[in-house]
């Protein structure tokens, strides 16, 4: 059965795959068509949903467990949470922009580099601290909580994005947006 590290790794791989896809372009500067830019914006929204879900469940279930491991646990947690708060600010800015806006690629490039650094920091510096301090059984229990909360939260975030799309008059997810009642 999956433990906390399996669940987090799966999320990290998903986010990294989406970022690599965005990195492959094409961007507005490289001559992307209107529909390519729309797809780029939609994929960025998926990154925002996945990332928001992931960091929220980490802050709820993962970091408190790391903090319980003492001084080193507190050190890595403080640093990681500060990285997560920075990411939250950048994603909120990115959410307001279209893929054709001038600032969009600058923010996305910065976020991509920071997200890779954050993931590496967690896997290389935070995971070993927790792994050394908990049993396999505890690792599975935390993994279950993370997994369940992640599924619920992703659903809520996706619904919020439907609202957001209706409010701004955009039509990126027409099937689901059409079924959604305000
Ligand atoms: Fe994180
Ligand atoms: Fe993470």
What pLDDT is recorded for position 69? 97
Better pLDDT: 152 or 104? 104
Q: How far does the centroid of ligand 1 lie from the alpha carbon of residue 35, in Å?
A: 32
The rounded distance, in Å, linking the Cα atoms of 28 and 102 is 9
Number of domains present in the structure of the chain: 1
- What does the DSSP 8-state code read for residue 50? H
CB atoms within 10 A of CB 19: 21
- pLDDT band of residue 181 (cuts 50, 70, 90) is very low
- pLDDT band of residue 128 (cuts 50, 70, 90) is very high
The rounded distance, in Å, linking the Cα atoms of 23 and 109 is 8
Q: How far does the centroid of ligand 1 lie from the alpha carbon of residue 51, in Å?
A: 8
Q: How far does the centroid of ligand 2 lie from the alpha carbon of residue 29, in Å?
A: 31
- Considering every ligand atom shown, identify the ligand nearest to the alpha carbon of residue 77 and give its number: 1
Q: How far does the centroid of ligand 1 lie from the alpha carbon of residue 136, in Å?
A: 21
Residues for the chain: how many in total? 182
Q: How far does the centroid of ligand 2 lie from the alpha carbon of residue 82, in Å?
A: 13
- Considering every ligand atom shown, identify the ligand nearest to the alpha carbon of residue 80 and give its number: 1
The rounded distance, in Å, linking the Cα atoms of 11 and 50 is 8
C-beta of residue 15 within 8 angstroms of C-beta of residue 47: yes
The rounded distance, in Å, linking the Cα atoms of 59 and 167 is 29
CATH of the domain at 81: 1.20.120
Q: How far does the centroid of ligand 1 lie from the alpha carbon of residue 104, in Å?
A: 22
Quick: pLDDT tens for 52-100.
889 989 999 999 999 999 999 999 999 999 999 999 899 989 998 999 9
The rounded distance, in Å, linking the Cα atoms of 114 and 86 is 9
Token pair 């960091």 is found at 55
Dig out the tokens for 114 from the structure: 């920071």
Residue 88 CA to its chain's centroid (Å): 9
pTM value? 0.87
> In terms of residue numbers, what domain contains 139?
4-179
Q: How far does the centroid of ligand 1 lie from the alpha carbon of residue 62, in Å?
A: 9
C-beta of residue 119 within 8 angstroms of C-beta of residue 8: no
Q: How far does the centroid of ligand 2 lie from the alpha carbon of residue 122, in Å?
A: 6
Quick: pLDDT tens for 15-60.
999 999 999 999 999 999 999 999 999 999 999 989 988 998 999 9
What pLDDT is recorded for position 182? 25
Q: How far does the centroid of ligand 2 lie from the alpha carbon of residue 24, in Å?
A: 23
- pLDDT band of residue 179 (cuts 50, 70, 90) is very low
């Amino acid at each position: 059965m999956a433990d906390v590290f399996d669940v987090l790794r799966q999320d990290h791989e998903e986010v990294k795959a989406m970022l690599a896809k965005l990195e492959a372009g094409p961007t507005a500067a490289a001559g992307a068509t209107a529909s390519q830019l729309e797809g780029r914006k939609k994929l960025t929204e998926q990154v925002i949903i996945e990332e928001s879900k992931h960091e929220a469940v980490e802050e709820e279930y993962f970091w408190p467990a790391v903090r319980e491991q003492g001084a080193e646990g507190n050190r890595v947690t403080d640093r990681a949470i500060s990285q997560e708060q920075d990411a939250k600010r950048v994603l909120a800015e990115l959410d307001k922009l279209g893929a054709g806006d001038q600032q969009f690629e600058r923010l996305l490039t910065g976020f991509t580099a920071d997200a890779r650094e954050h993931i590496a920091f967690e896997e290389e510096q935070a995971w070993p601290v927790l792994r050394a301090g908990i049993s396999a059984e505890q690792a599975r229990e935390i993994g279950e909580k993370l997994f369940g909360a992640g599924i619920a939260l992703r659903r809520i975030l996706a619904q919020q994005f439907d609202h957001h799309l209706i409010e701004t008059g955009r039509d990126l997810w027409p099937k689901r947006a059409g079924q959604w009642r305000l």
